[in-house]
């Protein structure tokens, strides 16, 4: 198989796993992360092939989405061997998809990531900020029964993974302070940092408007 065929096979695999997702990790998210990954790789003069492969697969082994993470990882790994990726390529993709989720970062902050993993994490995080990020936060919050906003509930600081997943007393607006506004400064690549500037401003403007309207000042 050539790389184009491999990429198509990976896309099909990802569609099979994620097309029915309604948690904000469906194919629209995946396709945007793949595009972001290619854009970042090109900006960094890096071969976009592995970042795109890993971007397609990055949510197929997530504990939120699959029953058994280990089984899902085994399945992805044998699939990658089957479509004839080299051992080195397989291990880069596996390292990437095991290590880039935000929840994972809360647990293991020191981990050093390959360039492919850095690109895919940036690509994924770009999809959590800006107008799309706002929409996904509201979608996720609504699906999980969060209130929109409550000035009495203060944003939680310095969460660990369990606290991040515990949604008691979580509000959609607090999610911006707790996570989304801080993502920009944790991006790895200059290309992603540049894209993030505008998206950050979109969120800041949105929050500003939100508070003015909440207080009936606008």
Question: In angstroms, rounded to a whole number, what is the distance separating the alpha carbons of residues 108 and 161?
Answer: 10
Minimal distance in Å, beta carbon 66 to Ni ion?
Answer: 14
Stretch that binds Ni ion, among 16-24, 114-122, 124-132, 165-173 (CB under 5 A): 124-132
Note the maximum CA span of the chain: 61
Stretch that binds Ni ion, among 47-55, 58-66, 79-87, 183-191 (CB under 5 A): 58-66
Specify the DSSP class assigned to residue 177: I
Instruction: Name which of 63 and 75 has its Cβ closer to ligand ADP.
Output: 63
Residue of 133, 100, 140, 143 lying closest to 32 (CA atoms): 133
- Please state the φ and ψ torsions of residue 74, each to the nearest 5 degrees: -60, -40
Question: Which of 21, 124, 146, 170 lies at the binding interface for Ni ion (CB under 5 A)?
Answer: 124
Stretch that binds Ni ion, among 10-18, 53-61, 144-152, 156-164 (CB under 5 A): 53-61
Question: In angstroms, rounded to a whole number, what is the distance separating the alpha carbons of residues 174 and 176?
Answer: 5
Summarize as ranges the residues that interact with ligand ADP (CB under 6 A).
Answer: 24, 64, 101-103, 124, 128, 133, 136-137, 140-141, 146, 167, 170, 172, 175, 179-180
């Amino acid at each position: 198989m050539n790389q184009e065929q491999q990429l198509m096979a990976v896309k099909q695999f990802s569609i099979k796993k994620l097309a029915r997702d309604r948690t904000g990790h469906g194919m629209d998210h995946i396709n945007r992360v793949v595009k972001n990954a290619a854009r970042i790789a090109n900006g960094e003069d890096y071969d976009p092939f592995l970042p795109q492969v890993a971007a397609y697969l990055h949510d197929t082994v997530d504990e939120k989405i699959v029953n058994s993470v280990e089984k899902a990882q085994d399945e992805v790994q044998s699939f990658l061997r089957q479509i004839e990726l080299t051992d080195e390529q397989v291990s880069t993709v596996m390292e990437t998809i095991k290590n880039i989720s935000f929840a994972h970062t809360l647990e293991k902050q020191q981990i050093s990531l390959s360039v492919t993993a850095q690109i895919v994490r940036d690509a994924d995080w770009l999809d959590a900020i800006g107008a799309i990020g706002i929409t996904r936060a509201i979608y996720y919050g609504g699906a999980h029964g969060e209130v929109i906003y409550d000035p009495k509930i203060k944003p939680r600081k310095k969460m660990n993974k369990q606290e991040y997943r515990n949604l008691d007393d979580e509000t959609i607006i607090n999610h911006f302070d707790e996570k989304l506004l801080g993502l920009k400064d944790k991006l790895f690549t200059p290309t992603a940092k540049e894209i993030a500037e505008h998206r950050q401003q979109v969120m800041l403007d949105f929050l500003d408007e939100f508070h003015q309207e909440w207080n009936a000042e606008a």
